[in-house]
Structure 1
Amino acid sequence: MCEIGGGMNFKRREFLRIVIDAIDGKTESIVVAHKDRLCRFAFDLVETLVNRSGCQIIVANQSKNAPQQELVEDMLAIIHCFSCRIYGSRHYAKEKVKAKRKYC
């Protein structure tokens, strides 16, 4: 399964399908290359939810980063996510102005 989308977006179609299938008992295990590929934040919460129904999450590449390194990576991910939103909203605003000029 392949899905393109940010690890901070919990509304991704395939992510939701995987989690719901696991909670419903339709999946025995979920295998991911890195834990942040499933979800950037709240991995422990997702893991706890799917474990309650007997499903396990297998992370192929467990990285043993220091807590400070993980915090830095999380902060950079947040900054990147919100900066992309800002730049995306600027582009959308410019497109609205162009469209308005075209029809006025």
Structure 2
Amino acid sequence: MAQDIRFVFEDVVRVFQEQASGINENRKELHYLLIMAEQREFQRLLIEYPDRLARFGYRYLERYLNSHGVTIESTHVQESKTSQEELTEDLLTIITVFSARLYGKRSQEFRQKTKHLVNAMKEGEPHGDGHEDHQTGCP
């Protein structure tokens, strides 16, 4: 008995890529994806992992896209997880994201202070040599 095998080739409308966390709501490419879905410019969205589309609220996005005629397919088959495993992963994700923001902010503040100090040195402003006791004024 012969099997009927069909291949469906569709044109790729657009590839969405961005270097942003799945937890970030302000993602330019996700914004464009939603606009294109609203305008019914595509019917199928292929993603590698669901958490790359959205770390939290994936089901909301899936439902929204479905309401605009878009089905989501994932290339990664995910084994089911217990609720405890999912909660642990979510908590680790939150800690990772906020740690990255904190360290990024510290790094930015350090670069700004360094830039200010370099500019002050170039302009000949007194800046101290770092050996002075600021409370007593003694070296």
Structure 2: 5+ residue runs without aligned partners?
1-14, 121-139
Higher RCO structure, 1 or 2 (CA under 8 Å, sep 6+): 1
Residue aligned with 1:25, SS: coil
Tell me whether 1:23 sits opposite 2:41 in the alignment: no
The match for 1:50 is 65
Which stretch has the larger CA shift, 64-73 or 10-19?
A: 10-19
Residue aligned with 2:81, SS: coil
**Per-residue CA distance 1:48-87 (angstroms, 9 max, x = gap):** 1111111111122232111111111111011000000000
Q: TM-score, normalised by structure 2?
A: 0.69
Once residues 16 and 41 of structure 1 are traced to their aligned partners in structure 2, the CA distance between those partners, rounded to angstroms, is 16
**Per-residue CA distance 1:28-47 (angstroms, 9 max, x = gap):** 01111110011111101111
- Which of 78, 97, 100 matches 2:116? 100
Which stretch has the larger CA shift, 49-58 or 2-11?
A: 2-11
| Equivalenced residues, count | 104
Once residues 89 and 35 of structure 2 are traced to their aligned partners in structure 1, the CA distance between those partners, rounded to angstroms, is 28
Tell me whether 1:32 sits opposite 2:47 in the alignment: yes
State the Cα RMSD in Å: 1.3
Once residues 10 and 20 of structure 1 are traced to their aligned partners in structure 2, the CA distance between those partners, rounded to angstroms, is 15
Q: Which has the higher helix share?
A: 1
Identical amino acids, percent of aligned pairs: 29
Tell me whether 1:11 sits opposite 2:26 in the alignment: yes
The match for 1:66 is 82
Once residues 59 and 77 of structure 2 are traced to their aligned partners in structure 1, the CA distance between those partners, rounded to angstroms, is 14
Q: Which has the larger radius of gyration?
A: 2
Residue aligned with 1:31, SS: strand
The runs of at least 4 consecutive aligned structure 1 residues that moved more than 6 Å come to: none
Following superposition, the deviation at residue 90 of structure 1 comes to 0.5
